[in-house]
Amino acid sequence: MAVNRPPEPPTPSRSEKILPRHLERLAVVYVRQSTVQQVMDHRESTNLQYGLVNHAIALGWPEGRVLVIDEDQGKSGSSAEGREGFARLVAEVGLDHVGLILGVEMSRLARSSKDWHQLLEICALFSTLIADLDGIYDPSQYNDRLLLGLKGTMSEAELHILKQRLHQGKLGKARRGELTFALPVGYVRRPSGEVVFDPDEQAQQVVRLLFRKFEELGTLHALLRYLVAQGIQLGVRVREGEGKGELQWRKPNRMTLQNMLKNPIYAGVYAYGKRQVDPRRKHPGRPSTGRVVVEQGQWHAFIEESFPAYISIEHYERNLRRLAANRARAEEIGAVRHGPSLLQGLLVCGKCGHRMQVRYGGTKKLHTYTCSRMATDYAGSFCHYLPGACLDVFVGEWVVKALQPAALEISLEASEHLEKEREELDGLWQKRLERASYEADRAGRHYRLVEPENRLVARQLAREWENKLEAQRKLEEDYRRFLTEQPRALCAAERENIRRLAQDIPALWHSPTTTMAERKEIVRQIVERVSVENEGKTERLHVTIEWVGGSQTKGVVIRPVSKLEYLSYYPQLCERIRELVAEGLSTAEIARALHREGMRPPKHAERFSRQAVGELLQRLGLRPARPRGRRNFGEPAPAENEWWLSDLARVLQMPAGTLHGWIRRGWVESYQQRSSGRWIIQADEAEVERLRQLRSLPMGHHEHHRWLDYASRRMAVEGSMQENT
């Protein structure tokens, strides 16, 4: 019986380069094929490499001293990464175990000059010979080393030429729009190669609904929540395996929806080269890594009207701009969030032109709009640190005024939109019911076609039929529940309610059922951006509303300030108070007169109180201040570097209530007098100066927080020391 044996190379003559010390060590035969397909189909090349064992025996090595290393079958020689066999070969040479390395050609060992020359260095160091079908080489000799280096270079160049030829052929096919790729949800490829809509009507309707709802909702997460809430699934064609080509219904997920919105095929565009390899990010040994998304102008192919389109090119570009604007970056408007700031993402600094940030702080979590661009980039002062409530009220009032002329149109459009959406959802339910009915009928036909005697098959088909009928019944119950919650058509009461709410825009705007996210969506539909600039430290803010369409609205917003001196009319206020005092009016009468004349205190109060007028009179020298020291008979005066709370507040020019709040939080060193219960604050000149600087900082400033952290730590340390003593 004939036995298939590997082909034997021609018997070589004994080379003078082979010395006894080489024969004392191993002869290693390195076997490698680049791909699994080559291993399976190119059997002659594999057999030829294994036949080098006979070549080594003919050169003088005993059969037991010939080692075959074939762990790298199906691995590319372009890099040493991931090639355990090559690493083992290098290790054996480095341990001085190898006298000869055999390969059919040098490309079997390595196609990278770096790996090849590293192997040559090690072989020259340990006097290891290298042999192929052309001869035997000694890397320690100049001529042989030169020839081996040339062969390695040619091997690497050959790999580059092959890759380049394949790559250019692939690019040429892509530029003609002929390179095929896996199709996304909603498309199938016919046997002829033509790309068409998925023949399933429900699959098509879900794709169209997806794009329409994203344009309405505006965010990817809102779209995902809507699909999940309505129980809508995506029809996906199986790409491989036993059920290849079948339609499966899967739950939507964020990544799939994002890929669909960014895929230009839905606009009928053949695109190739959206993700290209960046060598700086490529991981050695992992060819699929290093891919980055590039700009559309750098794509290899962008051919319009190549496929049937679900949306237009303009719609596709709007989706990309909306997704980019939803990213949480300083230069983008960002997605709508549920915080109380109405102008989130819309407010722009009038000084530097950058988008302002929203910050929340305090016990009431009030929001403020800040711009720290000049401080962070140029070590300057803050551009703005503005309270948010007054700006939100101003813009909200103008938005309500802008919407009132379109009240009737809004009501009609809202009614039409709701009816259209319910009709579309009902259509999806009808298709789901039709599919469930078809699957139940098919299962019934399969059961009825089986022979009654074949009970083994009949029982299984009966169970499948029952499962399909149960799924159909459950779907019908869900549909009836859907009709109860959301009927297809609006009733007369719902239509009248929509008209009434649309005509009363202010009531709809201020309604507790209207969420802040909904108000923000309304603002973004008609407002492009809002610019704000202050008059120094005064209470006046100049606000410019830029509407969608190009028109502008300008106005002045009054904000609360921390000091009387910051009021724009402070000189007029002082002069008027002097006149009223000269007329002999009391503090209460002065407060009422200031209110009538439109003068307001610096903070949120609507009018000056008697106490505020009295403090202002003392500041102007129109009423003598109480001397610092004893207040009541028998009451001891504070010691040196100690202050009554009211006296220190007057020196710091801050409300006594604010200073008392600092005491409660432990931000100042103080104690309470036992006899009177009054607070005494310990502060030398340096401490008073530091408190004055703290008072001048805006709330939320980073220096303020740093000081408060220091004060809190200091009080905690002193408290622990007192407990220990």
The CATH number of the domain holding residue 245 is 3.90.1750.20
Calculate mean pLDDT across residues 479-485: 81
In this structure, is residue 573 part of a structural domain?
Answer: yes
Residue 206 included in any domain:
yes
pLDDT of residue 717: 40
Distance CA 103, CA 123 (A): 15
Residue 626: which pLDDT band, with cuts at 50, 70 and 90? very low
Side-chain-side CA neighbours of residue 496 (13 Å): 3
The pair of structure tokens assigned to 189 is: 């490829």
Structural domain contains residue 209? yes
pLDDT at 633: 47
Structural domain containing residue 664? 642-724
Residue 569 sits in the same domain as residue 700: no
DSSP 479-503: HHHHHHHS-SS--HHHHHHHHHHHH
Question: What CATH number does residue 685 fall under?
Answer: 1.10.1660
pLDDT tens track for 249-298: 999 999 999 999 999 999 999 988 888 877 776 665 555 667 788 888 88
Percent of the chain with pLDDT strictly greater than 70 = 83
pLDDT exceeds cutoff 90 at 301: no
**At residue 704, does pLDDT exceed 70?**
no
69 in the same domain as 140: yes
What is the distance between the alpha carbons of residues 436 and 433, in angstroms, rounded to a whole number? 5
Give, as one character, the DSSP assignment of residue 359: E
Report the CATH number that the domain containing residue 138 is assigned in CATH: 3.40.50.1390
User: Quick check: 320 and 310 in contact, CB under 8 A?
Assistant: no
Task: Tell me the per-residue pLDDT of 536-573, one tens digit each, with 9 for 90 and over.
Answer: 888 888 888 888 777 888 888 888 887 777 888 888 88
pLDDT (average), residues 163-169: 83
How many whole angstroms separate alpha carbon 302 and alpha carbon 370?
Answer: 43
Helices (H), 326-454: 373-378, 388-403, 407-449
- Sort strands 135-137 and 129-132 into parallel, antiparallel or unpaired: antiparallel
Q: Give CA separation, 102 vs 42, 98, 660, in Å.
A: 20, 11, 90
The per-residue pLDDT for 97 is: 92
70, 65, 106, 105: which is closest to 88 by C-alpha?
70
Average pLDDT over residues 35-41: 82
Give the pLDDT of residue 332: 63
What pLDDT was estimated at residue 1? Answer: 40
CA atoms within 13 A on the CB side of 90: 16
Q: For the chain, how far is it from start to end, CA to CA, in angstroms? A: 103
Q: Are residues 35 and 164 in the same domain?
A: yes
Mean pLDDT of 135-147: 90
- Does residue 659 carry a pLDDT above 90? no
Q: CA 372 to CA 349: how far, in whole Å? A: 10
pLDDT band at 215 (very low <50, low <70, confident <90, very high): confident
pLDDT at 339: 77
The predicted structure's pLDDT at residue 14: 62
Please indicate, yes or no, whether residues 168 and 199 belong to a single structural domain of this protein. no
Co-location of 90 and 211 in the same domain:
no
> CA Rg, the chain, in Å?
42
- Residue 433 falls inside a structural domain: no
Confidence of residue 207 (pLDDT cuts 50, 70, 90): very high
Please say which residue of 147, 172, 197 terminates a domain.
Answer: 172
Q: Is the pLDDT of residue 51 over 50?
A: yes
- At 156, the amino acid letter reads E
pLDDT band at 100 (very low <50, low <70, confident <90, very high): very high
Own/partner long-range contacts of 683-686 (Cβ < 8 Å, ≥24 apart): 683/641, 683/642, 683/643, 683/648, 684/641
Tokens of 133: 């079908």
| 168 & 195 share domain | no
User: Would you say residue 102 has pLDDT above 50?
Assistant: yes
Task: Judge whether 313 and 304 are in contact, CB under 8 Å.
Answer: yes
Q: Do 31 and 167 share a domain, yes or no?
A: yes
CA distance 158 to 481: 68
Instruction: Give residue 698's pLDDT band: very low, low, confident or very high (50, 70, 90).
Output: low
Structural domain tally of the chain? 4
Single out the catalytic residue among 34, 372, 531, 670: 34
Tens of pLDDT, residues 495-525:
666 666 666 677 777 778 888 888 888 888 7
Helix (H) or strand (E) holding 163: helix 142-175
Which pLDDT does position 703 carry in this prediction? 44
Residue 34 annotated in active site: yes
Q: What integer is the mean pLDDT of 92-102?
A: 91
Dihedrals phi, psi of 663, to nearest 5 degrees: -65, -45
pLDDT tens-digit profile of 323-382?
Answer: 888 876 656 666 777 778 888 888 888 778 788 888 887 666 788 888 877 666 666 667
